[in-house]
Amino acid sequence: MEKIIPIKKDTEHVVEITGLGFEGEGVAKIDNYTIFVQGALLGETVRIQVLKVRKNFGFGKLIEIINPSPDRVEPICNVYNKCGGCRLQHLSYDAQLKFKTNRVKECLERIAKIKVDSNENLIVHDILGMENPYKYRNKVQLSVKEYKNEVKIGFYAPKTHDIIDIETCAIQDEIADKVVKLTRQWIKEFNIKPYNAHINAGVVKHIMVRRGFKTGETMVVIVTKANNLPCKNEFIELISKNIEGITSIIQNVNPNRTNVVLGEKCKTLWGKDSITDYIGKFKFNISPLAFFQVNPVQAEILCNNALEYADLSPEDVVFDAYCGTGSISLFLSQKCKKVYGIEIVPQAIENAVVNAQKNNVDNAEFIVGKSEEVIPQLIEEGIKADVVVLDPPRKGCDRAVLEAISEMQPKKVVYVSCDPGTLSRDLNILAELGYKTLEVQPVDMFPQSSHVECVVKLSK
């Protein structure tokens, strides 16, 4: 029997918000039919217009807040409701932290089958937030587009290719705002053509700004379709004379019609090829293509938590799978005999080697390859880990990695995750393989957004 949907598109309804979805959207029920409402908060009574109707759930647009939540605050950004970057800015920061902690617990119970509140052997700590949850990003990538003879520089609206023009951003460094203003001025004054994806023509595709929070060094990257950059000297002069701490102006060439922002080719137009910054006491070289944590304040907290959960002795050997540019590896190197960093991206390993050298770390070795292939190779060579650290991308670990770790039988596993869902899935697999989850520490790396990082301690 076909399911009867109790609502129709474009109709209006007054609903009670009884929950929050994984991205912080309000959840309501109409005759037991679930509808998601972006911008509505738990406990609110709101009027909505139905936008989309699917078999099991729908989406509604918030029209009126009839009974507001005490956790509702006024967003400080004037394009908050258009830009998809800060979906939780209407929720007080204390309430954001509670939402994220609860989201981790819900995933652990629903997916990992761990009864959080009734399990005395498991500790799920409250999330570690920021003293100032704004202006924390040290990197921003902005798209450039021309629309009706007006230059737009900003972020894409959710699920579209429409650019939301910005003059200031609540979560990025203030220097980036100034770079946007100067770039817009240069484009208009010298009639530089923004890139048009529809006809695959134009000059400027994106602007990226990277800033060293502890060093004050700033890099500006202009992404172009072709090698030729008209009025290049004028751009260099404008940026170099007006941006505080500017040490690097780079042209990145990306000829492809793609959603990927950066191409493989970089040319230094002015200053140095890279900037430097610190996580804790460790100094990092940051090139245009290098990965570096966008929130170095919280990254230090995350790395220290990973080190604490590893609980290393001077004789321990550690495998750091999915090591990236080696930030966690360097923290681990302080307390162990040897750390092997494994990463599939060659450029990241090149950066990790340089970072180790710059910090005089001689007990870290970095290997390019898939963790599920490298770990068995190391075991065959007689190298086994006492502790394994996992820091996979959002999709989580390949099961083959977890099985390879299980065969080696390290005494401890530390799992660093950027997605509670895939984390919980992998904790379930690790439980099958004989590892028990003992402690979970969420860290708020991205305030004003729904993203949650976690550090998890497991033992054999």
Find the Cα–Cα–Cα–Cα dihedral 319, 324, 326, 328, rounded to 10°: -70
Does residue 49 sit in the same domain as residue 192?
no
What pLDDT digit, counting tens, does each position of 83-93 carry?
878 889 999 99
Q: Which residue has the tokens 């798209």?
A: 143
Has residue 22 been placed in a domain? yes
- Tokens in use for 121? 């052997």
Does residue 331 sit in the same domain as residue 404?
yes
Q: What is the DSSP letter of 291?
A: -
What pLDDT digit, counting tens, does each position of 253-273 carry?
999 988 889 998 999 999 999
How many angstroms separate the CA atoms of 120 and 142, rounded?
Answer: 47
Residue 1 has pLDDT above 60, yes or no: no
Does residue 308 sit in the same domain as residue 433?
yes
What pLDDT digit, counting tens, does each position of 276-332 carry?
999 999 999 888 988 888 999 999 999 999 999 999 999 999 999 999 889 999 999
For residue 62, give the 3-state DSSP assignment: strand
Does residue 274 sit in the same domain as residue 147?
yes
Does residue 197 sit in the same domain as residue 235?
yes
Has residue 25 been placed in a domain? yes
Does residue 272 sit in the same domain as residue 418?
no
Confidence of residue 118 (pLDDT cuts 50, 70, 90): low
How many angstroms separate the CA atoms of 357 and 355, rounded?
Answer: 5
- In 10 A of CB 52, how many CB atoms? 12
What pLDDT digit, counting tens, does each position of 345-355 carry?
888 899 899 99
Does residue 400 sit in the same domain as residue 442?
yes
**Predicted local confidence at residue 437, as pLDDT:** 95
How many angstroms separate the CA atoms of 29 and 309, rounded?
Answer: 41
How deeply is 424 buried, as exposed, middle or buried, from its count of CB atoms within 10 A (0-12, 13-18, 19+)? Answer: buried
What pLDDT digit, counting tens, does each position of 137-158 carry?
999 999 999 888 888 999 888 7
How many angstroms separate the CA atoms of 175 and 147, rounded?
Answer: 25
The whole domain housing 33 covers 12-67
- Tokens in use for 43? 């406990």
**Predicted local confidence at residue 75, as pLDDT:** 93
Has residue 80 been placed in a domain? no
Task: Out of 286, 321, 349, pick the residue that ends a domain.
Answer: 286
- Tokens in use for 140? 């921003």
Amino acid at site 349:
I
Does residue 327 sit in the same domain as residue 437?
yes
Has residue 309 been placed in a domain? yes
- Residues facing residue 340 across a β-bridge: 319, 365
Q: Which CATH number is 404's domain given?
A: 3.40.50.150
Q: How many domains does the chain have?
A: 3
Has residue 432 been placed in a domain? yes
Express as a percent the part of the chain with pLDDT over 90: 78
**Predicted local confidence at residue 121, as pLDDT:** 72
- Residues facing residue 137 across a β-bridge: 172
Q: Which CATH number is 26's domain given?
A: 2.40.50.140
Does residue 443 sit in the same domain as residue 300?
yes
Task: Out of 267, 286, 305, pick the residue that ends a domain.
Answer: 286
Has residue 453 been placed in a domain? yes
How many angstroms separate the CA atoms of 354 and 364, rounded?
Answer: 11
Has residue 94 been placed in a domain? no
**Average pLDDT of 398-403?**
92
**Predicted local confidence at residue 167, as pLDDT:** 87
Express as a percent the part of the chain with pLDDT over 70: 99
**Average pLDDT of 26-51?**
95
Chain mean pLDDT for the chain: 93
How many angstroms separate the CA atoms of 430 and 406, rounded?
Answer: 8
For residue 192, give the 3-state DSSP assignment: coil
- Residues facing residue 287 across a β-bridge: none
**Average pLDDT of 33-37?**
95
How deeply is 121 buried, as exposed, middle or buried, from its count of CB atoms within 10 A (0-12, 13-18, 19+)? Answer: exposed
**Predicted local confidence at residue 282, as pLDDT:** 96
Has residue 36 been placed in a domain? yes
Find the Cα–Cα–Cα–Cα dihedral 145, 150, 155, 159, rounded to 10°: -80
Does residue 202 sit in the same domain as residue 279?
yes
Task: Out of 226, 259, 286, pick the residue that ends a domain.
Answer: 286
> Which residues are catalytically annotated?
418
Question: Of 169, 270, 261, which is closest to residue 218 (Cα–Cα)?
Answer: 270
Does residue 396 sit in the same domain as residue 426?
yes
What pLDDT digit, counting tens, does each position of 173-207 carry?
999 999 999 999 999 999 999 998 888 899 999 99
What pLDDT digit, counting tens, does each position of 412-437 carry?
999 999 999 999 999 999 999 999 99
- Residues facing residue 16 across a β-bridge: 45
How many angstroms separate the CA atoms of 375 and 377, rounded?
Answer: 5
Does residue 254 sit in the same domain as residue 322?
no
Query: What are the CA-CA distances from residue 119 to residues 104, 109, 236, 260, 440 (Å)?
Result: 15, 11, 60, 44, 13
Q: Which CATH number is 187's domain given?
A: 2.40.50.1070
